[in-house]
Structure 1
Amino acid sequence: MTYVLVVVVLTLAFPWGGAALAGRLADRLPPRWACWTLVGAAVLLAGGTLSALIGLFHVPFLASLERLPLNHVLKLWPAAVPLACAAGAVMLTQLVLLARRWTRHRSLLGAAWLSVGAGTGDGDVLVVPGTDVDAFALPGYRGRQGRVVVTSGMMRSLKPGEREVLLAHERAHLAGRHHLLSAVTDLVAVVHPAIRRLREALAFHLERWADEEAAAAVGDRRLAAAAIARAALAGSARGRVAGYPLLSATRGPVPRRVEALLLPEPVPPRGGVRRVGVAALAASVVAAAVAALAVAFGLHEYVEFAARRLICG
């Protein structure tokens, strides 16, 4: 069973290296590609981790199918039951954290809709009165369509062209359903701590994705950069409306976003970069699948070996 433990340990350690690889790859890709790479990597790494935990948890169950006494299992592999209990405890903790995080997402979204109740609508834009300076994309909730929420303070802080950039940025979040990508990565981050770094990277690249969409909508990258910078500066000087914590033009490392907008528009990957990206994602899929199969095969062989020992003994 030594090699099974080695495979399990490697499977649980793999997300650290996989997350680092996905983060570096995302920095070399255009924002849209970067976001999908990070979300895909997060889901695959979480799946590989769960496969190892489920495999460990099922050792006593597999033994019972072969009608092996528990004390015999412990003689052959003393750590079987403790590891199965530990795996079960970890998965139970993950389930509790997942439920809590999902509830938090829903409660924050509900609170955000309540906080903008005094706003006045104009198409897909909801203007909230007051001196606060803020703007964010508010996803749909309980049958209500998603809206772009902008405070009157933010509207006064920007020039007409900059307002167009801001609205285009938030509309890009809603049109691309960026909140779903963010939510998926945030939820699977409870499976393994290494996935949290992907969540942070994804928040940046989602804003970059919306920045690029806004720049394309207004046809002026310098205007888009100026609008993002001005909105961030104005928002940092005052409070903010209690809203959904993601998908806002004033979030993330704004200087990096502004610098990127002052550069030429990123192009989809070609040739070597595309091959590297596909190879990296394929490697993640293969690694997760091989780890799951190795754990399953090893546990099956262990049960068969234990059964033969019991019969021969």
Structure 2
Amino acid sequence: MTYVLVLIVLTLAIPWGGTVIARRLAGVLPPRWACLMVTGAAVLLAGGTISTLIGLFHVPFLASLERLPLSQVLEVWPAVVPLAGAAGAVMLVQAVLVVRRGIQHRLLLKRAWLSADEGVGDVDGDVLVVPGSDVDAFALPGYRGRKGRVVVTSGMVRSLKEQEREVLLAHERAHLARRHHLLSAMVDLAAVVHPALRSLREALVFHLERWADEDAAAAVGDRRVAAVAIARAALASTSHGRVTGYPLLSATSGPVPQRVEALLLPEPVAPRGPARRAGVTALAGTVAGGAVAALALAYGLHEYVEYAARQLIGVPGGCSSLWGVVDTLIGSGG
């Protein structure tokens, strides 16, 4: 029983360390790879958590499938029913929160499209200019057959010079072209599964904006102009967080000073040199290894309990604990 409890605690604790390592790794990678790595880590770590809860929840059902009386299971593991019930309750809460979050995403997207319907399309057909005094701009993903659009208020248009407007539009078009809203949604939903994953949402917002910043700088061919445009748009913005996060990605989101500082530096590249490559490989391996270990431990819990249940049926006189099963197996050479 001690072994099983160690498996459970270790599996559920892995995301706390995994998120720390994921954020560190993202900090040394180019924005594109940082976004993909953070998203992958969030999904894998959330999957490990869910697998552990499922493995714990189905122990009593596994015993019934093995035709092992629940009373005998309780003699071996008295806490199995409370733990299975707790795992089931946690999964129910997670399911409710995920569905609720998904509904919030859809409602936010619907409201954004309703407000954007007031806008006037440009010649290219991918920009909507909304009249009003607000200073705002964001990427609006597609909805119910409508293609994604870049939404800009007339106040934002007046606040920027011509070349700066080109940077802003290139930034928001990058969000749409790279489908950043999908990555944001995946991490946002994964964060509902385990509280440790919430910190990855903020990290992803920053790196998504950095990715779009780099695409915008490449589109206009001047990193300094791009930096000035991002800074000016953020200073002029009156959204006050209204368009941050999924599914609306804005050039004014995230820590703008760090983004501007990065644009004033040379274009980021993947780490080079044996030492730097080794460091990145080690960090990436740790993140991936931690997530895979969570899934492996969850599967191990399933196999361990199933094997123990089968042995309990065949061991004369029963055993007082799962460790007794192991001792009996060792003693019998099995």
- TM-score, normalised to structure 1, is 0.94
Q: Give 3-state SS (helix, strand or coil) of 2:100's partner.
A: helix
Report the CA distance shift for 1:190/1:279 in structure 2 as closer, same or farther (over 3 A): same
1:16-27 aligned within 5 A: 16-27=16-27
Question: Which of the numbers 175, 188, 193 marks the counterpart of 2:195?
Answer: 193
- Cα offset, 1:283, TM superposition: 1.5
Report the CA distance shift for 1:312/1:257 in structure 2 as closer, same or farther (over 3 A): closer
Identify the residue that residue 184 of structure 2 maps to in structure 1: 182
1:19-58 aligned within 5 A: 19-58=19-58
Identity %: 69
Identify the residue that residue 294 of structure 1 maps to in structure 2: 300
Report if aligned partners of 2:47, 2:295 keep a CA contact under 8 Å in 1. no
Identify the residue that residue 166 of structure 2 maps to in structure 1: 164
User: Which runs of 5 or more structure 1 residues have no equivalent in the other structure?
Assistant: none
Identify the residue that residue 98 of structure 1 maps to in structure 2: 98
Paired with 2:265 and 2:144, the residues of 1 have a C-alpha distance of 40
1:89 paired to 2:89:
yes
Report the CA distance shift for 1:201/1:244 in structure 2 as closer, same or farther (over 3 A): closer
Identify the residue that residue 228 of structure 1 maps to in structure 2: 230
Identify the residue that residue 65 of structure 1 maps to in structure 2: 65
Report the CA distance shift for 1:36/1:60 in structure 2 as closer, same or farther (over 3 A): same
Report the CA distance shift for 1:132/1:77 in structure 2 as closer, same or farther (over 3 A): same
Report the CA distance shift for 1:278/1:312 in structure 2 as closer, same or farther (over 3 A): closer
Report if aligned partners of 2:134, 2:239 keep a CA contact under 8 Å in 1. no
Identify the residue that residue 144 of structure 2 maps to in structure 1: 142
Report the CA distance shift for 1:310/1:49 in structure 2 as closer, same or farther (over 3 A): farther
Question: Which of the numbers 277, 281, 286 marks the counterpart of 1:280?
Answer: 286
Identify the residue that residue 327 of structure 2 maps to in structure 1: none
- Cα offset, 1:306, TM superposition: 3.0
* Number of aligned residues: 313
| Cα RMSD for the two superposed structures | 2.0
Report the CA distance shift for 1:186/1:240 in structure 2 as closer, same or farther (over 3 A): closer
Report the CA distance shift for 1:165/1:115 in structure 2 as closer, same or farther (over 3 A): same
Report if aligned partners of 1:140, 1:147 keep a CA contact under 8 Å in 2. yes
Q: Give 3-state SS (helix, strand or coil) of 2:121's partner.
A: strand
Paired with 1:243 and 1:112, the residues of 2 have a C-alpha distance of 13
Report the CA distance shift for 1:147/1:243 in structure 2 as closer, same or farther (over 3 A): farther
Report the CA distance shift for 1:105/1:310 in structure 2 as closer, same or farther (over 3 A): farther
